[in-house]
Amino acid sequence: MNWVNLTSVEQLEEIKNASGYSLIFKHSTRCSISLMAKKNFEFDWDVIPSDTKLFFLDLISYRDISNHVAEVFQVTHQSPQILLIKDGECILEASHSDISAEEVAEVIAA
């Protein structure tokens, strides 16, 4: 699996309008906790169905998009943070040590 860099509002609108599952990983490049959460997530991400679109948001470089994510999906901004989107709605949000590829896979399988 590979990350798709989330770098534009247009991509965010595509995620909002897409059918199926998309995941946004909001990452701070200045935070060691965020780096650890990302590494742990990537270590286990093979449990997530391969047709799930995985988006990576560098929120230091793209703070405006990060703010837009919070607004569009009605979540409180956190870092690190994952949002699992299904058919335009955020159905799972987790941050810090609660970020889990296994939980994402379980929600998708349910």
pLDDT exceeds 80 at position 1: no
How many CA atoms are closer than 13 Å to the CA of 35, on its beta-carbon side?
A: 4
pLDDT in tens, 57-72: 999 999 999 999 999 9
Provide mean pLDDT across the span 89-106.
Answer: 95
Give all domains of the chain, ordered by start, each with its CATH number: 4-109 (3.40.30.10)
pLDDT of residue 62: 94
- pTM for the predicted model, two decimal places: 0.94
Q: Are residues 50 and 106 in contact, defined by beta-carbon separation less than 8 angstroms?
A: no
The mean pLDDT value of the chain amounts to: 94
pLDDT exceeds 80 at position 52: yes
- Burial 71-96, CB ≥16 within 10 A → b, else e: ebbebeebbbbbbbbbeeebebbbbe
